[in-house]
Amino acid sequence: MKAIRYHEVGEIDVLKFEDVPTPEIGDDEVLVRVKAASLNHLDLRLRAGKSPRPVKLPHVGGVDAAGDIEIVGKNVTDLKPGTRVVLDPTVKTPKGPSVMGVNFHGGFAEFVKLPATNVVPIPQEVSYDEACVLPVCYVTAWYGLYDRGGLRKDETVLIHAAGSGTGSAAVQVAKESGAYVIATAGSDEKLEKVKEIGVDATINYNTSDFSQEVKKITEGKGVDLIFDQIGASVWENNLKSLKTKGRILLVGVVGGGQTTFNFGPVIMRDLSVLGVTVFNAPRQNLINVINLVSLNRLKPVIDKRLPLSEAAQAQKMLEDRSQFGKVILNP
202 binds ligand NAP (CB under 6 A): no
Q: Which residues pair with 68 in a beta bridge?
A: 33, 84
The stretch among 20-28, 147-155, 218-226, 246-254 that binds ligand NAP (CB under 6 A) is: 246-254
186 binds ligand NAP (CB under 6 A): yes
**Helix and strand numbers, DSSP H then E, in the chain:** 10, 18
**Which residue, 156 or 285, has its beta carbon nearer to ligand NAP?**
285
**Which residue, 111 or 279, has its beta carbon nearer to ligand NAP?**
279
254 binds ligand NAP (CB under 6 A): yes
Among 278, 286, 289, 311, contact with ligand NAP (rule: CB under 6 A):
278
DSSP structure class, residue 100: B
Q: What is the full DSSP assignment across 16-61?
A: EEEE-PPPPP-TTEEEEEEEEEE--HHHHHHHTT-SSSPPPSSEE-
What is the number of the residue whose Cβ is closest to ligand NAP?
252
226 binds ligand NAP (CB under 6 A): no
Cα separation, 314 vs 125, whole angstroms:
26
Backbone angles phi, psi at 110, to 5 degrees: -70, -30
**Which residue, 22 or 187, has its beta carbon nearer to ligand NAP?**
187
The distance of closest approach from Cβ of residue 90 to ligand NAP in the complex, given in angstroms and rounded to an integer, is 10
The distance of closest approach from Cβ of residue 105 to ligand NAP in the complex, given in angstroms and rounded to an integer, is 20
Cα separation, 183 vs 205, whole angstroms:
10
Q: Which residues neighbour 24 within 8 Å (Cβ) at sequence distance 6 or greater? A: 113
Burial of residue 77, with CB atoms counted within 10 A of its CB: 0-12 exposed, 13-18 middle, 19 or more buried: exposed
Binding mask 95-124 for ligand NAP (x = CB under 6 A): ------------------------------
Binding site for ligand NAP (CB under 6 A): 40-42, 136-137, 140, 161, 163-166, 185-187, 190, 229-230, 251-255, 276-278, 318, 321
